[in-house]
Amino acid sequence: MSNLTSRRDFLRLLGVSGLLTFTGGVLSACGAQTGQKGVPAAPGAGAGAGGASTPVDLEIAIKSVQTEVPIFTGKPTRVWTYQAQVLKGDAASVQALPDTYLGPAIRVRKGQRVRVQYTNELPGNAEQSIIHWHGLHLPERMDGHPRDAIAPGKTYTYEFQVTDRAGTYWFHPHPHERTAAQVYMGLAGLFIVTDEEEAAAGLPAGAYDVPLILQDRSFDKDNQLAYISDPMGSGMTQIMMGFLGERIVVNGKADFTLPVATRVYRLRLLNGSNSRIYKLGWADGTPLTVVGTDGGLLEKPVQKKYVTLAPGERIELWADFSGRKVGDELTLRSLEFSGAEGAAAGGSGNMGGMSGSGMNMGGMSMGAAAGQAPALGAPLTVLKVRVERQEPETLKLPARLSQLNFNRVYDAVNRDNPRSFALTMRNMVWKINDRTFEMDGVTEGETVKLNTTELWEFVNQTNPGEMTDPMGMAHPFHIHGLQFQVVDRRVMPELAAGWESVREGYVEEGWKDTFLLMPGERVKVLLRFADHTGMFVYHCHNLEHESAGMMRNYRVTA
C-alpha cells in the first residue's frame, strides 16, 4: 500500500468513525522518509546494518513535542506528547487517542518488520530523550538504553522485527535521570501486538477492545501539570518515595467515564503512573476476570476479587456488561491497602495514619510536599463505566486462551543458587546490591550467558537505621529485553500484614516483565536469555526511584 493510499484511507476512517484523531502532521524536521540514520551503526546494532534499503512492513515517524491539550475547561494544559505518522504500511497501525497528551496506540502484527524514525523535538537544547519499547524482546540498540538518548533536533532510527506474542506493550522515554519527568509530562503510548493465536481466542475486538491507561497527576490553578518543584527541599520526599498525583487521569482525561453497550469488553489496563500502585476492584464487589498480563494472554481466564497493578504492569480483563441495564453505572476503585510505603519506625505496618501531606516518620514531619494527593494505598475511584446502549451479545468466555510455553525451573543453570538482588536504601538513596546506575557499569553478578535460563531472586529489604524509610517500601521491578515468569514469592513474617493486603491481586499465571515487591518480600523470577547479546537495564519502575538511580545494567554475553 502506498503512503498516499494509506493516508487517504486513514483520513477517511477518521471522517467515518470520528473516534480517531490524527496527531501526526508536520514532519518536515524528519526530512526524507527514507530515514537518515540519527545514530552511528554500532557493533551488533540492528539499525545501522541494513540501512534504508531493508524492506519493512511498517515505517513510522514519531516525534516528542511540546503542545497543549484541553484537560479541564478553561486554560489548556501544556504537555509533552508523542506524535506519530505512518510513512509506509497500514495507516491504521497508528491510532491516536483524541484530545490527550498520551501518544498514539501503535498496532502491529507479530512477525512484522518495523522502522521507527524517532525525532526529539522537546523544547530547549538540553532535554535528551530516547524511546524504550517496554516489554518487547529486542536487540540492545533497539531497546532504548539511556546511553542512546539523543539531543533535541536529532533523529534515532529503530529497526526491528516484532517477535513477541500478542499483548499490550507500551513505549515511553528512557533518558538518564529524566524518565520520570518526561513520562509525567505526557510521553507514553501503547504498543499493541496481535497474532493468530490471539485471533483464535475469540475475544472482544474493535470498539469492544478498550485500552485504559491509568495515571495520577497534580494540576495547579492554571490547569498546568505540577511536579516536583523543589527537589533539594520539600520535593526530596517525592523523589525518595515517588510522586503521587492528586487526581486520577485515565487515557489522559480527568473524571473518566467509559460508555459501554450491554456487551463483553476486553479492557487493557496499563498502570502508566510514576509511582502509584492500584488495587483494582469493582465497587459492587463483582469479581474481575483476567485474560492477560504484561506478556499477553493467559492459558485460561483467572477470577480475582481484585487485581494489584503496579507502575509499568498491564492486565487484560474480560469485562461482561451483558447482564447490565441501560443506565447502570459501575465504579472501578482502587481498594485500600497497607504497607507499600513502608512503615514508620515502631509502626505496625499499617499506614492508615499516613497522609500525603505531612508524613510522620517516627516523629519527623516530612513536610507538605505532596499536597492533597491521596496516600499510597488510600481508597479512591479510578474510573466509571456507564451502560448506554442495549446490544445483543453472543461471545462466551473462552475456556482456553493460549499456550504459554513456559520455561522450567529445572532448566535454570543456577536453580540451586539464584542470582540475588537486594533492594535497599542507604543514606537516603535507593540501591540495587549497594549500587546505583552507571551508564556503562555492569558487574560480574550482572553478567549472564546467551541461551541460558536463570533464576533471579529480588529481596526487598528493610533499612534499619534509615530515618526516612526504616521498613522499606514497595518497588515495582522491571527487567528489560524479555518476558519472564514469577515462580516464587515469600515475605518476612513481621511485614506480612501489608503483603496480605495486596497479594491476592498478583496475577502471575502469565508472562511478566514487571512485578511488585512489597516491603519484606522476596520474589524469584525465571528468565531465559535468548537471541540478543548486549547490555540492557533492569530497574525499579517507580519512576522517581528509577530516575534517581535505582537502575542497573545486565549484560548478555555470547
Binding site for ligand C2O (CB under 6 A): 132, 134, 172, 174, 312, 478, 480, 537, 539, 541
The residue (of 333 and 539) whose beta carbon lies closer to ligand C2O is 539
In the complex, minimum distance from the CB of residue 474 to Cu ion, in angstroms, rounded to a whole number: 7
Residue 273: contacted member of ligand C2O, Cu ion, none (CB under 5 to 8 Å, by partner type)? none
In the complex, minimum distance from the CB of residue 432 to ligand C2O, in angstroms, rounded to a whole number: 13
Task: Give 125's DSSP letter.
Answer: S
Stretch 432-471: interaction string toward Cu ion, x if CB under 5 A: ----------------------------------------
User: How many chain residues bind Cu ion (CB under 5 A)?
Assistant: 6
The residue (of 88 and 145) whose beta carbon lies closer to ligand C2O is 145
The residue (of 385 and 527) whose beta carbon lies closer to ligand C2O is 527
**Which parts of 525-554 interact with Cu ion (CB under 5 A)?**
540, 542, 545
The residue (of 142 and 359) whose beta carbon lies closer to ligand C2O is 142
Q: Is the dihedral of CA 136, 170, 320, 380 positive or negative?
A: positive
- Of residues 279, 475, 524, 532, which one binds Cu ion by CB under 5 A? 475
Residue type, 42: A
In the complex, minimum distance from the CB of residue 438 to ligand C2O, in angstroms, rounded to a whole number: 16
In the complex, minimum distance from the CB of residue 271 to ligand C2O, in angstroms, rounded to a whole number: 10
Please report, to the nearest 10 degrees, the dihedral formed by the alpha carbons of residues 94, 97, 102, 107 taken in order: -30
The residue (of 145 and 475) whose beta carbon lies closer to Cu ion is 475
Single out the residue of 366, 378, 382 nearest to residue 267, CA to CA.
382
> 28: how many CB neighbours lie within 10 A of its CB?
6
Q: Is 178 in the site for Cu ion (CB under 5 A)?
A: no
CB 131 within 8 A of CB 174: yes
Q: Is 314 in the site for Cu ion (CB under 5 A)?
A: no
In the complex, minimum distance from the CB of residue 505 to Cu ion, in angstroms, rounded to a whole number: 19
Beta pairing partners, 159: 115
Residue 235: alpha-carbon gap to chain centroid:
24
Task: Give 166's DSSP letter.
Answer: S
Stretch 126-145: interaction string toward Cu ion, x if CB under 5 A: --------x-----------
Nearest residue to ligand C2O, by Cβ distance, number only: 134
Residue 174: contacted member of ligand C2O, Cu ion, none (CB under 5 to 8 Å, by partner type)? ligand C2O
Side-chain-facing half-sphere of 61: CA atoms under 13 Å: 26
Rounded to whole angstroms, the Cα distance separating 455 from 285 reads: 37
Q: Is 273 in the site for Cu ion (CB under 5 A)?
A: no
In the complex, minimum distance from the CB of residue 349 to ligand C2O, in angstroms, rounded to a whole number: 29
Single out the residue of 3, 112, 103 nearest to residue 58, CA to CA.
112
What radius of gyration, in Å, describes the C-alpha atoms of the chain? 22
Task: Give 122's DSSP letter.
Answer: -
The residue (of 134 and 555) whose beta carbon lies closer to ligand C2O is 134
User: Could you give the angle at the alpha carbon of 409 between the alpha carbons of 407 and 410, nearest 5°?
Assistant: 105
CB 256 within 8 A of CB 383: yes
In the complex, minimum distance from the CB of residue 351 to Cu ion, in angstroms, rounded to a whole number: 16
The residue (of 112 and 182) whose beta carbon lies closer to ligand C2O is 182
Single out the residue of 159, 144, 394 nearest to residue 263, CA to CA.
394
In the complex, minimum distance from the CB of residue 175 to ligand C2O, in angstroms, rounded to a whole number: 11
The residue (of 475 and 478) whose beta carbon lies closer to ligand C2O is 478
The residue (of 343 and 550) whose beta carbon lies closer to ligand C2O is 550
In the complex, minimum distance from the CB of residue 442 to Cu ion, in angstroms, rounded to a whole number: 17
The Cα-based distances of 491 to 1, 233, 344, 503, 524 in angstroms read 55, 34, 18, 10, 12
Q: Is 355 exposed, middle or buried (0-12, 13-18, 19+ CB in 10 A)?
A: middle
Single out the residue of 548, 273, 553, 543 nearest to residue 425, CA to CA.
548
List residues binding Cu ion (CB under 5 A).
134, 475, 480, 540, 542, 545
